[in-house]
Amino acid sequence: MIKPVGSDELKPLFVYDSEKHHALMKEAETLPSVVISSQAAGNAVMMGAGYFNPLQGFMNVADAMGAAEKMTLTDGSFFPVPLLCLLENVDAIKGAKRIALRDPNMDGNPVLAIMDVSAIEEVTDAQMKTMTQKVYRTEDMDHVGVKTFNTQGRFAVSGSIQVLHFSYFQDDFPDTFRTAVEIRNEIKERGWSRVVAFQTRNPMHLAHEELCHMAMERLNCDGLVIHMLLGKLKKGDIPAPVRDAAIRKMVELYFPPNSAMVTGYGFDMLYAGPREAVLHAYFRQNMGATHFIIGRDHAGVGDYYGAFDAQTIFDEEVPKGALAIEIFKADHTAYSKKLNKVVMMCEAPDHTKEDFVLLSGTKVRELLGNGIAPPPEFSRPEVAKILMDYYQSLDA
């Protein structure tokens, strides 16, 4: 099986030993505590689940700047984005060496993790500007990721953490949320050796489904891991339970037995385009995938990134040898009326736009909201039914 990034075995930061876990929960109630941002909470969950192996906790400013500027931390290890715990106010934890980090996304703000504080630093305007520009390629506050990153606060609290809870992800998505450890174990149990991962924050229509079949066939893979984002999205995105139901229905009906796993991970989307694509590849290697599909405008938003920037970054900016996972570079896929099948558009040079079934997201939402299924060349009827029920419930 493919090795995790930076170590021979995964080192998840979740405390699995029940006695130790109980003792830490008891200790946490006596410690100075702070409610962290949703983004930091998602990062803690990812570290707890082993996805950000071999990181031991939140970065200090020097490491965050290294990650932003050259994807390399001060010890020479590779990580593609800053991983900061940013706070607006640190009065409650000033001088503390050990603190409890509380969850902003659950009632009562339960303890998410305990941190051994190594530093509390104030991030300068210049440092924030550099990190924002390097990671997001823009400082435009209309960019949802830029706004989120820049409005959490300016105090960076760094140090190793022990994770005690997987936030709402395990509670709300018990059948879908999986740690990197659990996915590796299931890959082993299924006997897969070549595994391709597919990232999604949306329901999967026919073009996505066929892209997965295409990648499995061309890469000679034993299995596919559909790995969906369960954390916070931008306004208007379809909620995770609806996406989950639609994807499971598609796999049940249109994939052979033991060929696809439907799983999810807890993380708030960055919308950082190319840099986020590298992060996505990083944690897919940690969960055991040997290959990862990256299509047009992966993890992008608006018009901030070029169509294939998320693919070229692996050739142009990722340090050689940093990742063992291989990238399957995909173009936009669509149903060809000429060939009566889904194709990658770049592989159909004799086609015009009119030769494809292309529907905008707005058009699809409009059809579904009116109880009209998109054409079968665009969406499986069983998937469309689940989405129609959701959109019509909004108007009820």
Annotated catalytic residues are 201-202
CA 146/CA 60 separation, integer angstroms: 20
CA 19/CA 4 separation, integer angstroms: 28
Residue 299 main-chain phi, psi, to 5 deg: 60, 20
Torsion over CA: 33, 38, 40, 45 (sign):
positive
Give the relative orientation of helices 381-395 and 361-369 as an angle to the nearest 10 degrees.
Answer: 70
CA 91/CA 94 separation, integer angstroms: 5
Task: Determine the 3-state secondary structure of 264 from DSSP.
Answer: strand
Give the relative orientation of helices 309-316 and 274-286 as an angle to the nearest 10 degrees.
Answer: 70
Cis peptide before 54 (omega within 30 of 0): yes
Beta-carbon contacts of residue 392 (< 8 Å; ≥ 6 apart): 368, 369, 371
Q: What is each CA distance from 9 to 71, 178, 233, 276, 316, in whole angstroms?
A: 22, 17, 31, 24, 28
Concatenate the DSSP letters of all residues of 191-255 into one string: T-SSEEEEEESS---HHHHHHHHHHHHHHT-SEEEEEEE-S---TTPPPHHHHHHHHHHHHHHHS
CA 202/CA 127 separation, integer angstroms: 33
Task: Determine the 3-state secondary structure of 113 from DSSP.
Answer: strand
Tokens linked to 379: 């969406």
